């Protein structure tokens, strides 16, 4: 299994630009999570999906952030417009909700720098 795939691995953009982060979960997993990691705040859950449906987006910092999951094998996290304080590493994770273990598997992350 290829694991959770994220792209791009690094993104550098200017303030005000739109940024789109992509995630492909592990095949067969039906829950997907987006996290943000910074030195100051650690790892924060932004939003998660069950069976492609957003369940809890209370962690999304503001309306500039949006996430979609059009099918079971693809999700995007969009920031529009981006700001320097959005600079962080964004992780995607997936799990199989019907398994009692509910073990999360993380992608390698996208390091976002907004100048």
Site residues, other proteins (CB under 8 A):
4, 31, 33, 42-43, 45, 48, 50, 55-56, 91, 93, 97, 100-109, 111
In whole angstroms, the minimum distance from the beta carbon of 81 to other proteins comes to: 27
Q: How far is the CB of 109 from other proteins (least distance, A)?
A: 5
Residue 16 or 28 having the CB closest to other proteins: 28
In whole angstroms, the minimum distance from the beta carbon of 49 to other proteins comes to 10
- The token pair that represents 92 in the structure block: 């995607």
Nearest CB to other proteins, comparing residues 81 and 96: 96
C-beta separation of 6 from 109 below 8 A: yes
């Amino acid at each position: 299994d290829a694991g959770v795939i994220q792209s791009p691995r690094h993104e550098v953009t200017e303030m005000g630009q739109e940024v789109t982060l992509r995630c492909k979960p592990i095949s067969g997993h039906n829950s997907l999570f987006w996290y943000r990691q910074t030195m100051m705040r650690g790892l924060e859950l932004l939003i998660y999906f069950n069976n492609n449906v957003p369940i809890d987006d209370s962690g999304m910092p503001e309306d500039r952030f949006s996430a979609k999951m059009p099918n079971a094998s693809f999700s995007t996290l969009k920031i529009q417009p981006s700001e320097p304080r959005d600079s962080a590493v964004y992780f995607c994770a997936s799990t199989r909700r019907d398994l009692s273990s509910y073990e999360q598997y993380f992608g390698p992350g996208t390091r976002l720098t907004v100048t």
